[in-house]
Every structure is written in structure tokens, then in C-alpha cells.
């Protein structure tokens, strides 16, 4: 009989090795799935792990998709480290996109470049308001943040639907549910010619550094983590749990909102019902696989972006449904959680 035995100390080695083992497991299961469905598993590997980095353009796309995942997951890392279970980042992303889109629609042909800044700040504010709602209901009424933040995802998506089917619909858009495309002044600048990659990436990387500094080099960041790991110790130290709740949700809401703003003012260029693409949920996996550490999250965001692009390629090249991405995402998180047992426990045979 297999049994687990508590380690005296969490294993350092396994805390790094576990995500890699989880990835290996996911790849193995994925290859088995390909074989089961009568496709060449090596071709599958190629589509998921080689095609997305084969050309400079492909790398640009990979980084473009990794940006929102990175931003959202950074915020979630702060949340999860503070033991605040914000799983409604998707809703905060949508609200950020809505707020940013609303401002972008105000831009005219002769708006100045400051417009971009207004668009991005509106996105941050939108995400913060949406997450702040969860924080307020939790703080004031003790309502469970998991359920409230998740319910607000559905509300946010309906709100988006209302606006793009209703008041914000482009009158010249042949009745499609979408806003007009934003003026150039409201769009975020691209980094290079020949790639859709935009300034979102450097912003996100800078914020990753910022979150690292906050978590590991400031008292406030330390207080967040103590509150998450040992609430009693945090109370003794005089760290306020209410403050921690608000900070965690506002930071993650703001980052998710920024991701939404970058998405609509970047590659999308308008609001449509397809703004919510599941980044908010995928980022939960990114945060865990990245060990809730900014550096790890940068790497896991790239990995998850590969999953997304690989899924699209699997659809066009191999005739798979795009939703295979979701299968792999779920498998990855499952494998990670299972492998993480090795960090705190030893697996032993026998009684």
C-alpha cells in the first residue's frame, strides 16, 4: 500500500522539480491522448512546443499571448500568498477591458498620445473596482470571496454583452455585436514592425520585477505573506488581515484590468463578445505552476501561451478542436498538485 509520510522540512529540490515533473506528466498524457485519437504524437509535440518558437513572428505571438497571462498571474500570486482566493480574475479582466474600451471610444481622430495612458489607467481602475466589490462584500459582510468573485465573472460577461449588443454597438458595423475599432491614438504602440508584439510585454516584465520587490523586499509584502501562512502570527505582529484582503484584491484586480485594457487596445482593437478568452482562469494555473513567484510565473506564462498557440495550431493543422488547450491546462494543474505532494511528504511503500 502506498502511503505518504510528512517531511520534517519541505523539500527544496522538489519544490523546483515538481512543476517540471508535472509538465512531463502532462506531455506524456497528452501524447497518449494523441495516439488514442489516431494522430502522430510527435507531430503533436512539434505543434505545441516547436512551432510556437520556430520563427521570429511566432515568438512575437507567443510573447503577445503570454503578456495577459503574466499580468493576471502576478496579481493572483499576491492573492494566493495572502490566502485570498480570488478566482474571478476573468471578470476583472473583462471590466478592465470595458473601462478601457469606454475611454478608447471617446478618442477622436485628433486625440493626443496621452489617450493611450488614459485607456490603460481606465483599465486598471475598472479591474480594481470589480475586485474591490469582492473585497468589500468579504470585508463588510464576510461573504466568501471564491463564490462572489466567480459570480461577478458571469455578471461582467453579461455587462459586456449588453454594451456591445446595445449602446456601444458600432452603427456602421452591419449589426455585428462589436464597437467601432478604436482610433489610432487610443491603441497601444507596437514594439517592432512585422510583429503584433506591443509595449504590454515590457510593462508586464517591469511589473513582475515590481511585484518581486513588493513581496520580498517590503514590510507590506511580508505582512501579506505572514497573514497567508500564519494568521495568528500576523495578528500578534499587528498586521491587519482586512488590509491584506484589500491589498491582495486591489492589486490583482488592477493587474487583471490592465491586462484587459492591453488586450482591447492592442491586438483586439475593439470590444466584442469574445473579449473573455479564459485568460483569467488559465492564469490561476500559471500562478500555481510558477510557484507564486514572479520569476516562475514569467516562465509558466510562456508555457501556458504555448498551450494556447499549440491549441490553435492543432485546430488548423491537425483538425483538433481548439478546446484541447483547456484539457492540457486542467491536466497540468492536476499533475502539479499531485507532484506537489512530494514537496511536503515522502511517498513510501508498505505499512
Partner 1 sequence: MEQSALLLASSLNAGTVLAIAALGLLINEKAGVVNLGAEGMMLCAALAGFATVVATGSQTLGLLAGMLAGLLLAALFGLLVIWLNTNQYATGLALSLFGAGFSAFAGTGYVQAKLPEQGPFAVPLLSDLPWFGPALFRHHPLVYGALALVLLLVWWLYRTRSGLILRSVGESPESAHALGYPVRRIRLGAVLAGGALCGLAGAYVSTYYTPLWVEGMIAGKGWIALALTTFATWRPARILLGAYLFGAVTMVQFHLQGQGINLPSQFLTMLPYLATILVLVLISRNPQWIRINMPASLGKPFYPGA
Binding interface with partner 1 (CB under 8 A): 2, 4-6, 85, 87, 137, 141-144, 146-148, 150-152, 154-155, 158-159, 161-162, 165-166, 281, 284-285, 288, 321, 323-331, 333-334, 337-338, 340-341, 344-345
In whole angstroms, the minimum distance from the beta carbon of 147 to partner 1 comes to 5
CB 187 within 8 A of CB 116: yes
Task: Give 55 or 144: the residue with its C-beta nearer to partner 1.
Answer: 144
Task: Give 198 or 329: the residue with its C-beta nearer to partner 1.
Answer: 329
Task: Give 98 or 186: the residue with its C-beta nearer to partner 1.
Answer: 98
In whole angstroms, the minimum distance from the beta carbon of 141 to partner 1 comes to 4
Task: Give 2 or 172: the residue with its C-beta nearer to partner 1.
Answer: 2
In whole angstroms, the minimum distance from the beta carbon of 314 to partner 1 comes to 10
CB 110 within 8 A of CB 173: no
Task: Give 299 or 327: the residue with its C-beta nearer to partner 1.
Answer: 327
Report how far Cα 316 is from the mean position of its chain's Cα atoms: 25
User: How far is residue 223's CA from residue 242's CA, in Å, rounded to a whole number?
Assistant: 12
In whole angstroms, the minimum distance from the beta carbon of 332 to partner 1 comes to 9
In whole angstroms, the minimum distance from the beta carbon of 158 to partner 1 comes to 4
In whole angstroms, the minimum distance from the beta carbon of 189 to partner 1 comes to 33
146 CB-near residues (< 8 Å, 6+ apart): 85, 87
User: How far is residue 94's CA from residue 110's CA, in Å, rounded to a whole number?
Assistant: 27
Distances (CA, A) of 193 to 82, 114, 176, 184, 351: 41, 22, 30, 16, 64
In whole angstroms, the minimum distance from the beta carbon of 211 to partner 1 comes to 20
3 state SS of 2: strand
Counting every residue written for the chain, the total comes to 351
Task: Give 218 or 323: the residue with its C-beta nearer to partner 1.
Answer: 323
Task: Give 57 or 162: the residue with its C-beta nearer to partner 1.
Answer: 162
CB burial of residue 262 (10 Å; 0-12, 13-18, 19+): buried
CB 263 within 8 A of CB 68: yes
Across the chain, the runs of DSSP E, i.e. the strands, are 2-6, 345-349
Amino acid at each position: 500500500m502506498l502511503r505518504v509520510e510528512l517531511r520534517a522540512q519541505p523539500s527544496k529540490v522538489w519544490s523546483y522539480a515538481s512543476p517540471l515533473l508535472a509538465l512531463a506528466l502532462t506531455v506524456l498524457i497528452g501524447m497518449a491522448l494523441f495516439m488514442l485519437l489516431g494522430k502522430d504524437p510527435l507531430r503533436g509535440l512539434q505543434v505545441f512546443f516547436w512551432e510556437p518558437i520556430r520563427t521570429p513572428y511566432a515568438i512575437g505571438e507567443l510573447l503577445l499571448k503570454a503578456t495577459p497571462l503574466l499580468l493576471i498571474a502576478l496579481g493572483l500570486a499576491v492573492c494566493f500568498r495572502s490566502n485570498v482566493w480570488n478566482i474571478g480574475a476573468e471578470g476583472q479582466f473583462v471590466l478592465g477591458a470595458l473601462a478601457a474600451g469606454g475611454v478608447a471610444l471617446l478618442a477622436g481622430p485628433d486625440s493626443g498620445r496621452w489617450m493611450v495612458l488614459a485607456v490603460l489607467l481606465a483599465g486598471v481602475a475598472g479591474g480594481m473596482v470589480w475586485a474591490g466589490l469582492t473585497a468589500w462584500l468579504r470585508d463588510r459582510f464576510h461573504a466568501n470571496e471564491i463564490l462572489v468573485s466567480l459570480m461577478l465573472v458571469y455578471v461582467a460577461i453579461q455587462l459586456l454583452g449588453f454594451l456591445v449588443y446595445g449602446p456601444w454597438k458600432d452603427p456602421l458595423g452591419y449589426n455585428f455585436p462589436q464597437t467601432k475599432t478604436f482610433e489610432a491614438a487610443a491603441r497601444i504602440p507596437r514594439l517592432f514592425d512585422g510583429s503584433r508584439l506591443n509595449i504590454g510585454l515590457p510593462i508586464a516584465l517591469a511589473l513582475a520585477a515590481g511585484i518581486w520587490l513588493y513581496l520580498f523586499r517590503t514590510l507590506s509584502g511580508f505582512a501579506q505573506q505572514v497573514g497567508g501562512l500564519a494568521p495568528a502570527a500576523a495578528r500578534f505582529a499587528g498586521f491587519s488581515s482586512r488590509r491584506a484582503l484589500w491589498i491582495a484584491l486591489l492589486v490583482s484586480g488592477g493587474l487583471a484590468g490592465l491586462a484587459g485594457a492591453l488586450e482591447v487596445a492592442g491586438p483586439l482593437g475593439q470590444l466584442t463578445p469574445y473579449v473573455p478568452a479564459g485568460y483569467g482562469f488559465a492564469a490561476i494555473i500559471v500562478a500555481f505552476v510558477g510557484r507564486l513567484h514572479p520569476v516562475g510565473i514569467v516562465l509558466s506564462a510562456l508555457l501556458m501561451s504555448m498551450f494556447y498557440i499549440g491549441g490553435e495550431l492543432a485546430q488548423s493543422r491537425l483538425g483538433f478542436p481548439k478546446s484541447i488547450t483547456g484539457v492540457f491546462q486542467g491536466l497540468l494543474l492536476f499533475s502539479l498538485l499531485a507532484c506537489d505532494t512530494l514537496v511536503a511528504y515522502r511517498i513510501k511503500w508498505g505499512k
